[in-house]
Amino acid sequence: FNWGYDNGYDVVFKVDDDSFIRPDKLMEFLSQQNTKHLFAGHIVSNIQNKDDPNSKWYFRDQYPNDILPNYAIGAGILLGSDLLQHLSQHRNELTLYRVDDAALGIWLESTHPNFKVMEIDIYPAHIRSNSIIVNPVNHFEMSQLISSDGSNMLLQVCQDTCLCIGTPNYNGDCVAQWANSPYKDIVPRSHVHNK
- Name the phi and psi angles at 82, rounded to 5: -65, -40
User: What is the C-alpha separation between 126 and 18, in angstroms, rounded?
Assistant: 17
Question: For 115-156, how does the pLDDT look when each residue is reduced to its tens digit (9 = 90+)?
Answer: 999 999 999 999 999 999 999 999 999 999 999 989 899 999
pLDDT per position as a tens digit, 46-61: 999 998 888 888 899 9
Cα angle: 13, vertex 139, 143; to 5 degrees = 90
71-80 and 11-15: which strand pairing? antiparallel
State pLDDT tens for residues 77-101.
999 999 999 999 999 999 999 899 9
Q: Given a cut of 90, is residue 186 above it in pLDDT? A: no
